Structures are given as structure tokens and as C-alpha cells.
A = this chain, B = another copy of it.
């Protein structure tokens, strides 16, 4: 396969995958483009490569910076801004985990704690069905939360260290 063809295929697939995970398709395509780029790219490069508007490019570039998946890089004697992706796939994954945990898991944990005690007879079948389910989910969410924290804060810990080395290099 030719390089350009392979890149295109990668960018498209990455975009589709991201869409299925509730992430803006263009954002993922920009990320993919920068992941496989040999050098940092300017907004104009990105616009041209993906055939997207300036506004769209700008918006998604900023979002990617917010997720800490890409960084600005300055080229001497050039007023344009250039962007490069974090290439360490583990950092990419932990940054995504961190963002999603903060934006989604944390709010859900809050909601679960708010709804976890309901008025009325705890022996009532309806109330029991509800509270036992909520408690199970709370336990799961609590454990997921801790596990993610551990992974994010220290990838080389007792738990993940063993197999992480296998494919980190």
C-alpha cells in the first residue's frame, strides 16, 4: 500500500471509531492526521488535508489541545502556529481516560450518591429493586474511579506494570 493511501485509510478509520465513541469525527481525523505526520502541521495544512473550513479546524484543534492530545509548536520566523500530536500511545490513552473520567464518571458518581437514599419502606419491592441496583452501580463506579486514578497517576504500578511493559517497548 502507498503511504498516502495508508494515511487516508487510517484517518478515516480513526474518525469512524471516534464517532462511535461519541467523539467528534473531525476532531479524531485531525488527531489521526497529526499522529502519523512526520512534522507539526499548520491550521492551513490541516484544512487542506482534510478539506475542512477554518472555523471547524480551529474549533477542533482547540478541543484537542484541551484534551492534551496535541501541542502547539512554534517555528522561528513564521507567524503561523503549528501543531503536533502526543505520540506516546500510552499518554494518549491516559489523557483520554482522564478527560472522560472527569467529564462523565465523576458527574455520574455524584448523581448516584444523590439518588441513593429514597424515602419509604426499605422492604418495599419497588424501593428494594431500585436501591440495590443503584448500590451495585455505585460500587462499580467507585471501583472504576479508583482503578482509573491508579492507571492515570502511575502507569508503572503493581497492577498494570506487568503487562504494560510488554507493549510499551
Q: With A1-B117, A118-B1, A118-B2 given, is the CB distance from A13 to B108 under 8 Å? A: yes
A115 in the interface (beta carbon within 8 A): yes
Q: What is the bound-complex CA distance between A87 and B137, given in angstroms?
A: 10
Copies per complex of this chain: 2
Interface pair A13/B111, CB less than 8 Å apart: yes
Interface residues in A1-31 by Cβ distance below 8 A to B read 1-3, 6-7, 9-10, 13, 17, 19-22
Interface pair B17/A19, CB less than 8 Å apart: no
Interface pairs (16), CB distance under 8 Å? A1-B115, A2-B118, A2-B120, A3-B126, A6-B134, A7-B130, A10-B130, A21-B21, A21-B104, A35-B133, A36-B134, A38-B126, A38-B128, A87-B136, A90-B140, A143-B163
